[in-house]
Amino acid sequence: MIKINLLFFILLFTLQIGNCQIHENDSDKSSVNDYMLQTSQEKLAKVFDSPERDKWQKPDEVIKFLGEIEDKTIVDVGSGSGYFSIRLALAGAKVIAADIDPEFLQIIEKKQKELNIDQDKLKTVRIDENKLNIDAHSANIVFLVNAYHHISDRVNYFSSVNSTLKENGKIVIVDFYKKTLPVGPPKNHKISKEEVLKELKEAGYQNIEINTELLEYQYIITAQKY
C-alpha cells in the first residue's frame, strides 16, 4: 500500500534527521506503524519542511531545472505537506497539490492562506492510491519527488498519467539512488534509475533523459508525453 510505504519513509526520514541509526536490513514494520499512529501529520510536516532537508534536496535548484514554469500547470504527486507545492506556486506555476492523505492537504491549505497564495495558483486534490484522478490534458508537468518508489503497479500507473498531460507535457521524477545513503528509505525500498528508465519506456514515454549531476543523493528523470 502506498500510504503505508509513505509513512514508513517519513519515519525513516525523521529518525535520520534525529541522527538515529538506521540499518538497511531492518524489515519489521510493525513498530514503524505503531509509531506513525502516535504521530500527528503536523509533526510529520515539520520533518518534511525541516531546513535540514533543504541542504540535500536543493529545492530552488530543482525548480530551476524544470525550466520556465510561469503559468504552467504542475501536478505535484505525493505533495505531502507542500514542500514543493508551495515553492512552485510562489515561483509562478499553477500547482495542483495531489496526495492521498486529506490531513496533509489541509496543512497545505493552511499554508496557502498564511502566505496569501491565490486559489488559481494552488489547489489541493485528493487522489487514489492507484490512479492519478486529475483531468485529462490539464498538466504541463507531472512532478514526483521521493514518490515514485511508493507506487506498486508503476507501468500501468504512468500509462494512465500520460492522459493527464497536455501536448508536449512531461513527467519529472526525483528519487533516491538505490544504495545506502544518509537520507531516504532503506536500500531495498528504493528503485534504481535503470529500473525507472525501463518502466517509463514500457509505459510508452519518449525522449527520456536522466540527470545525475544536480543532486547528491537523487537522480532526476524527465520523459515526454507520447
More confident call, 119 vs 24? 119
Q: Write the CA distances from 127 to 98, 118, 225, integer angstroms.
A: 6, 22, 21
The 139-145 sheet, strands edge to edge: 122-126, 94-99, 73-77, 139-145, 165-176, 218-224, 206-211
Q: pLDDT at residue 136 above 90?
A: yes
- Specify the range with the lowest mean pLDDT, choosing from 24-38, 65-79, 129-143, 194-208: 24-38
Tell the CATH topology of 2-224.
Answer: Rossmann fold (3.40.50)
For residues 225 and 172, the answer to whether their CB atoms sit within 8 Å is: no
Please state the domain extents for the chain: 2-224
Tens-digit pLDDT profile for residues 78-101: 999 999 999 999 999 999 999 999
